[in-house]
Amino acid sequence: MSIMDMRGNMLSSASSKNSFFNKKYEITKDIKNTAGSWAIVIFGMVQRIDRAFGQTEAVVSLHKKSKLMLVPILSRDILICLVMHRSSNEDYIINKIQTLLEPGFDTNNDKLDSNDISI
């Protein structure tokens, strides 16, 4: 998992050099250096159709070994980037992330007070 700002700058990352993630996947220096920029480009492209389909809640890509997901937290100007098993339930994960990080988010469309959410 990583967190980046809306300019593609990496703010935090949960994987270390010797982690299972880096051993399982071939993450090159080039991928690490450009991932933030590409994530912002991809998210921007998908946002272009928000008027027709509603606000983008996530961008998901399926790969042979995994599923990648970008979850925007617009109130904080960040993107949460996840690498998951292909069988992961992205709707459940998106809901949990938004419930924790988006002030006023509620799956039942009821308005929450920002005091109802703790991080």
Task: Compute φ and ψ for 25, nearest 5 degrees.
Answer: -115, 150
Cα 71-48-5 angle, rounded to 5 deg: 40
Residue 80's pLDDT band (boundaries 50, 70, 90)?
A: very high
Read off the pTM. Answer: 0.75
Question: Which residue has tokens 């010797």?
Answer: 18
For 87-102, what is the mean pLDDT? 91
**Do residues 71 and 98 make contact, with C-beta atoms less than 8 angstroms apart?**
yes
Rg, Å, the chain Cα set? 15
As beta bridge partners, residue 62 has 67
Q: Which CATH number fits domain 2-108: 3.30.1330.90, 3.30.450.30, 3.40.50.1970, 3.40.50.300?
A: 3.30.450.30
Domain borders along the chain are 2-108
pLDDT (tens digit per residue) in 27-64:
778 877 888 889 999 999 999 999 999 999 999 999 99
Q: Give the 3-state secondary structure of residue 68.
A: strand
pLDDT at 109 over 70: no
